[in-house]
Structure 1
Amino acid sequence: MTPFWKLSAAGFAATAIAYGPARMGFGLFLPEFRSAFGISTQTAGLISSLGFFGFFAGLLISQAMTTRKGPRLPVISGLLAATIGTGIVAAASNFTVLSFGVLLAMSSAGFAWTPFNNAVHRTVDDWSRPTALSSVSTGTSLGVAAAGTAALIISTSGISWRLCWAMFAIASALALAGNWAALREVAGTPGPGVAERWRVLFRRSAMPLFGIGLCYGITSAIYISFAADRIAQAGGVAGLPRNASGGLVFVCYGIAGLLGLCTANVKAMMGLAWLLRLLMLACALSFALIALWPTTFAGIILSAALQGLYVMMMSAALSFWSDRLFPSLPSQSFTAVLLAVATGSIVGPAIAGIASDAYGPMSMFLGSAALAAATAASFRSKHIWERPPVHSPENP
Structure 2
Amino acid sequence: MKPAVRVGATGFGLIAVCYGFARFAFGLFLPQIREDLALSPTLAGVISGGAFFAYCVAIVVSARMSERVGARAVAVAAALVAGLGMLGIAASPSPMCLAVFVVMAGASTGLASPPMADAVAHAVAKARRNATNTVINAGTSAGVALSGPVALVMGHEWRTVFLFFAGAAFALAVMALVWLPSGTGQERPDNRRGRRPTLDANLIRLVGASFFMGASSTAIWSFGGEITSMRLGWSTRDIGLLWIAIGAAGVFGAGAGWLVARFGLNAVHRLFLVVLAASIAIVGLSFTSPALTLAGGALFGAAYVMLTGVYLVWGTSALPHRPATGLMVGFLTIAVGQTAGASLFGFLLDRVSLEMTVLVFACLGLAAGFFWFESRSAGSSAADAGFGATSLLEASRVARTRADGA
- Give the TM-score normalised by structure 2: 0.84
Q: 1:211 aligns with which of 208, 212, 218?
A: 208
1:35 aligns with 2:35: yes
Partner of 2:195: 198
Aligned 8 A contact 2:215 2:364 in 1 = no
Contact 1:84–1:169, Cα closer than 8 Å, also in 2: yes
Does 2:385 correspond to 1:384?
yes
What pairs with 1:118-133 in structure 2 (closer than 5 Å)? 118-120=118-120, 132-133=132-133
Q: Give the RMSD, CA atoms, in angstroms.
A: 2.8
Could you tell me which residue of structure 2 aligns to residue 282 of structure 1? Answer: 275
User: Aligned partner of 2:299: which letter?
Assistant: L
Equivalent residue number for residue 379 of structure 2: none
CA deviation map 1:203-244 (0-9, x unaligned): 33322333332123212223211111011122425xxxx333
| In 2: Cα distance, 1:325 partner to 1:136 partner | 26
Of stretches 213-222 and 351-360 in structure 1, the one that deviates more from structure 2 is 213-222
Residues 49, 341 of structure 2: 8 Å contact kept: yes
- Cα offset for 1:351? 1.1
Q: Residue 233 of structure 2: SS of its match in structure 1?
A: coil
1:17 aligns to what? 17
Cα 1:327–1:379, aligned 2, differ >3 Å: closer, same or farther?
A: closer
Of 103-112 and 323-332, more deviation after overlay is shown by 323-332
Matched residue SS, 2:294: helix
User: Does the 8 Å CA contact 1:234/1:294 hold for their aligned counterparts?
Assistant: no
- Counterpart check, 1:172 vs 2:173: no
Q: For residues 200 and 313 of structure 2, what CA distance do their matches in structure 1 show? A: 17
Q: Distance in 2 between matches of 1:179 and 1:69?
A: 14
CA gap of 1:30–1:16, structure 2 versus 1, over 3 A, is same
Q: Any unmatched runs of 5+ in structure 1? A: 389-396
Per the TM alignment, residue 377 of structure 1 is displaced from its structure 2 partner at its CA by: 5.3
Judged with a 3 Å threshold, the aligned counterparts in structure 2 of structure 1 residues 203 and 116 are, in CA distance, closer, same or farther, namely farther
Count of residues in Structure 1 that have an aligned counterpart in Structure 2: 380
The C-alpha deviation readout for 1:107-130, integer Å capped at 9, x for no partner, is 111111133344445666777655
Separation in structure 1 between the aligned mates of residue 287 and residue 153 of structure 2, nearest angstrom: 21
Q: Please give the alpha-carbon distance, in whole angstroms, between the structure 1 residues aligned to 2:275 and 2:10.
A: 29
Structure 2 residue 346 is matched with structure 1 residue 353: yes
Kindly indicate whether the alpha-carbon contact (under 8 Å) linking 2:206 and 2:315 is maintained by their aligned counterparts in 1. Answer: yes
* Equivalent residues in 2 for 1:126-165, closer than 5 Å: 132-155=132-155, 160-165=157-162
Match of 1:222 among 202, 219, 222: 219
Give the residue type in structure 2 aligned to 1:289.
Answer: I
Change (3 A) 1:9 1:320: farther
Aligned to 1:188: 184
Counterpart residue type for residue 28 of structure 2: L
Q: Which residue number in structure 1 is paired with residue 231 of structure 2?
A: 234
CA deviations 1:125-176 (Å, max 9, x no partner) are: 7776555544433321100111121012112xxx521111111111112222
3-state secondary structure, aligned to 1:47:
helix
Please say if residues 8 and 133 of structure 1, whose CA atoms lie closer than 8 Å, have aligned partners that are also in contact: yes
CA deviation after TM superposition for structure 1 residue 54, in Å: 1.3
- Are residues 1:301 and 2:298 paired? no
Shift of 1:51: 1.4
Q: Using the alignment, how far apart are the partners of 1:273 and 1:129 within structure 2?
A: 29
Q: Does the 8 A contact of 1:138 with 1:312 survive in 2?
A: no
Alignment check: 8 A CA contact 2:232 2:290 kept: no
CA gap of 1:327–1:16, structure 2 versus 1, over 3 A, is farther
**2:208 counterpart letter in structure 1:** G
Q: What SS is found at the alignment partner of 1:253?
A: helix
1:325 is displaced (CA, Å) by: 4.6
Q: Distance in 2 between matches of 1:338 and 1:246?
A: 27
Name the SS for the 2:222 alignment partner: helix
Shift of 1:259: 2.3
Deviations 1:47-82 (A, max 9, x none): 111111211111121122123233333322221110
